[in-house]
Each structure stands twice: as structure tokens, then as C-alpha cells.
Chains A and B, each alone.
Chain A
Amino acid sequence: MEDSEIVRLFRERDETALTEVSRKYGRFCRSIAEKILKSYTDSEECVNDAYMKAWESIPPADPKILSAYLGRITKNLALNRLKAERTEKRGGVQTAMSFDELDDCVSGSDSTENAAETKEMLAAVNDFLGGLPKKSRLLFVYRYWHYYSTTELAAHFMMSEHNVTVALSRIRKRLKAYLRKRGYDI
């Protein structure tokens, strides 16, 4: 079923919408949750919660890209769940998911940009990603949006872990250079 059709069902409060969403995007959402929660049961719950959130939010929300909309809800719920579990005793989500490689990319300073600057920088990042070859873009998004490990990426793309690591490293370097050229520093 087309996304627009599913959204229409949501709007008409037709519960078939949930069945269709589950059929079409269930695995995708579960994949997102599992990468964060590392638990099938927790992920299932999280995905069901995401459906409910979607049910509550559409309408008034009118998502143009349903997969991304559901993906974002799922990811936020999964991160919140993880945070609730680990924040106090282990220092939060960052401990659970290591992104050591970002040390060479971000400055580490806690300088916060204003909303307008952030928006502009995000637009630049989107431009950058849009200009990448598809595979590079997928690598980047799987790693930093979906939180795939390099091992998972290697299996997914049939690459060696070394190649994944190096490819990601180059993308980060290019991103940094790209942003610097435009006056941003991360």
C-alpha cells in the first residue's frame, strides 16, 4: 500500500493503518530499535509504542515520508528507553554506544550554535550527504543514524571491517573539510 494511502487511513482513524504500517515498516522500525536496545523483546515493545505514537500524532501530523517519520519515532523511543535504563548508573547512551572514531571529527568543545546556525549547518550536511555516492551515504547514515557497528556494516555491505573503517574515516574527513569550507566547525 502506498504511504499516502496509509496516512489517509490514519487520518480516518482506521485501525487498518496500524496493520499496514506494521506490514510495510515493521522490520525497518525493529531494525532501528534493535540496533539501540540490543534486545528483541524490548525492540518489539518499542516498535509497538512507536505505532501508538504515530496513531496519536497523525493527524495533525502529515508525514511526507512515512518510513522516516516512523523511524524517527522508533529511534527516539528506543533512545529514551535506553537512557532510562542506563543514564544514572553508567553515564548514559554514549557509554552504551561507542563512537570513538568521532574524536577525529568533532572538536569536543561544548559550544552551542544558535538555532539559525544549526539549521544552516544541517542544510550543509544534507547537501554533503546528497553529493556522496549512494554507498558512502548509506554507510554514513547506517553508522551515525542507525548506529550500526562497523562489524554490522561490514556484513551488510560485504566489505572488510578495515574497508568500512577507512571509508567512514574518509567520509568524516570530507565532511569536516566540506563544512570548514563553508565556515562551520564541528
Chain B
Amino acid sequence: MTKKHFLEFIDNIDDKFIRETEEDLRKREEGAVRRRFPTSAMLGAAACAAAATIIGVTAVSYYRDRDAVLPNSGSASSSQDTVQSSGSEPQHTVPESGFTEIGSLSETANAEFSALRQNSTGKLDFSNAELTLPDITGDLYRLKVSPTPGMSTSEMLELFRKSVKHIFPNSTMTGDIDNYFWFRYSFMPYTDEYIERIQSGDIKLKQTLYDTSQNKNNSTTNNEYLLLDKNGAVVIRQGEYDPLFFSPYGDYKMTDSYILSGAAMPADGNEGVYKAAAFCEEYFSNIPSFTEFPIAKRMSAEVVSTDDGLYKVTLARSFNGVLFDALAVSPVIMPTGWPYTSEDPTYVRTDTASALVSEDGKLLYARIDSYNDILTPEGERIDSIISLERAVELAEQHVKFKREDLSVENVSLVYFDKCVSPYVSSYDSGAQPNWRFKVLGTDTRSGKSVWFYIYVDALDETVVIDTEFIEE
């Protein structure tokens, strides 16, 4: 068949697929119209105005990204990066459905949250945190904070946990840490009342695409879940901000469920493993019935230090021999320590997993990411993953080709990103399993140190420099 024939052939595909694109285009268009603030700056201003109203503070700042300058640091802030907003900004109507019912802050929480925001002296600097309502329908709450120098992942985690709990004391949270230490948090302020309404069919769940890219270096198409009442009005909107964690709500009937997720990021070296383990363990231990899980074997946490210096952390394992192999964070770190150099491409394995568990302990959803066990969306095993050694080799070749003037000193593995599973397909998430490295080198002309991220597709060996070259 020639290309021309192929295209003519595809011309005749079923009408329903063409209709699907028409519906997709229409939905996106409607979504674009609904977002009345076209620029991030305006969006931020609107969000701040709304946030200021909600949390009762009189002045807040919106930062477009984590590189923005802190207001209290004494540095000049760029007008492009920062939009100052105040209580005098135009107020935007927050619809009665949604926020007023689920998001009212207690006076104590309000005060504590304000105090957190204003504390810029300690490591837990909250001055650059955001509580935003990116859409004036007012149903999505997003809280994010930029890491300040010296802030560890556990401190960030603590910061988020505190913040979210302050705002929504009864909320259930999900969270993860990505390779940029960029915390994304989504939380579901589902109260009993909402759960009842969902179960009774009074409100229903709708899945849409949420087209906000949170990280300029890590563009993602995110998912958004809307709870709609019978009249189609949005009751709750929840965004999922990471392609690694994909809520299956679109496929499962929404019940009184928690979505839990944990990711291991051993970027702190061995210590990170424990932090990650603690992270998951704590979340799961928050569900009393979890340990009495009716259909899986008891979940347990174990940290094994073997004679040869390996550390292995496993939080859970085995679910009737089916997919739910682990609810785990199990990196194995070689005694050579961190980082992994290209000269010593030692083995590292990072597994992550998440589960959706109903309040009575029923497993609704589970997924595991293990680079040893990569599956297609149909559940077929993929065996053609390239090795870490090969990935390092490819990365180095690519760098050499792209930057002859760069002397590579270190290629350290950031993580192995696997987004293929029966539940989360690479096609859905737009991501492929890949080895992600941080490359450190020296510009031989200027003598300056340079670093950047690079990733190597684990299936087809495509190499892409993922960020700009950054001079240290």
C-alpha cells in the first residue's frame, strides 16, 4: 500500500471516530470559552482575589512558577513573574455549589493558614505558597509551594500536609514528588454528605481533560474530574496533576473512596528511601481498616538492610497473585551510593504503586510501576526495555553529538519513569517509559559547570534533552 492509498483508506474509517473528534473539538472549545482569563497573569490575579476572599487574608502574591523571587527576600521581582494582588482586586463570584459547602474555613484554620503564609523566616517558608482557584467556577483548590533552598522533601511534605489539613480538615489527600521536587497535591474534600449524594445518584462524576501544564519542563495533559449535579452544574472539580498517577474514577463507580499514591524519589540517597517508605506507610496507616484488607494479604512495611549494603523497602505485596503485586516503594540502592555515575552504572530499581481503596478496605484500583514488569495497556508484558547501561551510553552519545564543547563528568539517574500499565497507558498519559538522567558537565570553552536533564526512551532508544543547559 502506498502512503496515498493508506490515507484514502483511513478516509473511510467509521463515522463514529469522526464524530468523536467533533465532540472533542467542541468540548475543548467550550472549555476555552469557560476560562475567561486567557493569560497566566490574569489567571493568577483572579485566583488570588478569590483566594484572598476565601482565606481571609488581605494581600497575597501569585507566582507563576517556582523560580519566582520570594517577596520577602529583598530581591527585585519581575513583573512578568509576579502579579501582586490585593483585597481590592475585583471579586469574582464563587458559585454557591461547591466551595461554600465544602470549603469553608474555620476561624482557627484561617488564622493558622495565614500565619503559615506569613512565616518567611524558617525553612517552612510559606510565603510563596498558593491557594488558587484557577477557574472562577471555584471548585478546584490547588495548593502548591516552591521549594526553598535547604528544604527537604519531608519538610515539603509536612508543609503540604499541614496546609491541606488546615484548609480541609476532613479531606483526603494524594500527593507525590516528582523529579524536580515539585510537589503536586490534589485533595478531595468529599464529605459524608457528598458521598451520600454520589451514591444516591444525586450528583455524578464526569471526567474531562484538564489542560494546565504545571511544570514547564514536564508538560502533561492532566485529568480533571467533575462532580455534576442533576442540572449539570459543577459541584466538585478535582484535578490530577501528574501523568504518573491517574485516577480511574472514570472507569469505576465513585464510592466513598480514597485515592492514595506514593512515589519513591531516592534523591536524598539512602535517606530518601526511608522517607518514601514512611510517606506511603503513613498514608495507608491512616485508614484503620487497611490492615484488615479483606482481599489482599496484610500490607506490611519492611526495611531490609542486607549484608552487602543493599537497602530494600517494601510496603506491601501480593494481591491474590494478580496485578496488585506491591503497594510499594522499593528502590534497591547499591553500596556505591548516590549518584550513579556513568563509569559505574549500577543497578537501581524504583517501584511505585498506588491504590484506590474504599473506606471499608475494598480494593477498587491498584497499579504498580516496576521497570521489571512493564505492561502494555492490554496487559502484555514488554520485554524490550533497554538497560540502564545502554541508556547511559545513549545519553552520553547524544550529549557528545549535541554539545561537542561539553565535557561530561557525571550522568546520574534521576529515575525510571514508567507510565505503561493496564490502567495507565502511555497513550493516555502521553508519556513513555524512559530513563531520566541529570547530566553534569563542564563547558570546555568557558570552564563553567553545566547541568541539564535528559531522557532516554526505554522502548525505542530516542534521546531527548529535556531542559535547557543551565550554568551553575
**A residues whose Cβ falls under 8 Å from a Cβ of B:** 25, 27-28, 31, 64-65, 67-69, 71-72, 75, 93-94, 99, 102-103, 105-112, 118, 121-122, 125-126, 129-130, 132-139, 141-142, 144-146, 156-160, 162-164, 166-167, 169-171, 185-186
Contact = CB atoms under 8 A, between A and B. Distances in A.
Contact of A166 (B9, B12, B22, B432): B432
A3 to B, nearest CB: 10
A176 B428 CA distance: 20
A94 B1 contact: no
A65 B21 contact: no
Interface residues of B, number: 46
A123 B462 CA distance: 33
A132 B16 CA distance: 14
B428 A133 contact: yes
A51 B214 CA distance: 42
Given A28-B25, A69-B15, A94-B3, A171 B427 contact: yes
Nearest to B250: A134
A125 B427 contact: no
A122 B22 CA distance: 21
A109 B2 contact: yes
B13 A102 contact: no
A138 B6 contact: no
B9 A102 contact: no
A64 B460 CA distance: 41
Given A28-B26, A31-B25, A109-B1, A137 B220 contact: no
21 contacts: A31-B25, A65-B15, A67-B18, A68-B15, A69-B15, A106-B3, A106-B6, A110-B5, A126-B14, A130-B14, A134-B20, A135-B427, A138-B21, A139-B427, A142-B21, A145-B17, A160-B464, A162-B462, A166-B460, A170-B426, A186-B9
A129 B3 contact: no
A162 B9 contact: no
B464 A145 contact: no
Contacts of A169: 460
Contacts of A134: 20, 428
Contact of A158 (B11, B19, B26, B219): B219
B18 A107 contact: no
A144 B23 CA distance: 17
B381 to A, nearest CB: 15
Nearest to A174: B376
Contacts of B377: 133
A144 B213 contact: no
Nearest to A31: B25
B428 A27 contact: no
Given A122-B9, A159-B430, A129 B2 contact: no
Contacts of B26: 27-28
Nearest to A102: B3
A133 B427 contact: yes
B15 A125 contact: no
A102 B6 CA distance: 9
Given A64-B15, A138-B20, A166-B457, A145 B219 contact: no
A21 to B, nearest CB: 12
A141 B427 contact: no
Interface of B: 1-7, 9-26, 28-29, 211, 213, 219-222, 377, 425-428, 430-432, 457, 459-460, 462, 464
A99 B21 contact: no
Contacts of A164: 430
A93 B1 CA distance: 17
Contacts of A137: 17, 20
Contacts of A157: 221, 430
A138 B24 contact: yes
B424 to A, nearest CB: 10
Given A94-B3, A109-B2, A145-B10, A27 B25 contact: yes
Contacts of B459: 170
A68 B13 CA distance: 10
B329 to A, nearest CB: 26
Contacts of A93: 4
Contacts of A69: 15
Counting chain B CB atoms within 10 Å of each CB, which of A64, A108, A163, A171 scores highest?
A163
Given A106-B5, A109-B2, A163 B10 contact: no
A129 B13 contact: yes
4 closest A-B pairs (Cβ-Cβ)? Answer: A68-B15, A136-B427, A68-B18, A67-B22
B18 A158 contact: no
A71 B309 CA distance: 64
Given A93-B4, A146-B21, 6 more contacts: A65-B19, A68-B15, A69-B15, A130-B14, A145-B18, A162-B464
A186 B16 contact: no
Contact of B22 (A28, A118, A158): A28
A135 B428 contact: yes
Contacts of B222: 158
B22 A141 contact: no
Contacts of B16: 65, 68
B415 to A, nearest CB: 17
Nearest to B9: A122
A108 B10 CA distance: 16
Contacts of A105: 6
A186 B21 contact: no
A142 B219 CA distance: 20
Contacts of B425: 133, 136
B19 A126 contact: no
Contacts of B29: 27
Contacts of B428: 133-136
